[in-house]
C-alpha cells in the first residue's frame, strides 16, 4: 500500500517513519449522508511512500 505525502501527519524525520495519516470517504444511503474520517498509525518508508507496517488502530468518526 502507498500513501501520498498530503495524507501524512506528524512525521518523524528519518527514512523509516512512524506517521499518522488521515483519510476520509463519503457514503450516501437514501436520505442519509455520512462522512467517515479515519486515522491510522503506520510505519512508513518516506523515500518510496510505501507502508511497511500497518498498526490496526483505526477509530472512525461518523458525521
Q: Round to whole Å and give the CA distance between 40 and 58.
A: 5
Predicted local confidence at residue 63, as pLDDT:
44
Predicted local confidence at residue 32, as pLDDT:
78
Q: Which structural domain, as residue segments, surrounds residue 26?
A: 5-62
Mean pLDDT of 35-39: 66
Mean pLDDT of 45-53: 64
Mean pLDDT of 16-35: 68
The tally of domains found in the chain comes to 1
Q: Round to whole Å and give the CA distance between 8 and 20.
A: 6
Average pLDDT, the chain: 60
Lowest mean pLDDT among 9-13, 18-22, 32-36: 9-13
Mark 28-53 as b/e (b = at least 16 C-beta within 10 Å).
eeeeeeeeeeeebbbebebeeeebee
Amino acid at each position: 500500500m502507498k500513501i501520498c505525502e498530503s495524507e501524512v501527519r506528524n512525521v518523524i524525520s528519518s527514512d523509516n517513519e512512524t506517521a499518522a495519516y488521515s483519510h476520509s470517504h463519503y457514503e450516501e444511503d437514501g436520505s442519509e449522508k455520512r462522512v467517515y474520517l479515519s486515522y491510522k498509525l503506520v510505519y512508513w518508508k518516506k523515500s518510496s511512500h510505501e507502508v511497511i507496517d500497518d498498526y490496526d488502530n483505526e477509530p472512525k468518526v461518523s458525521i
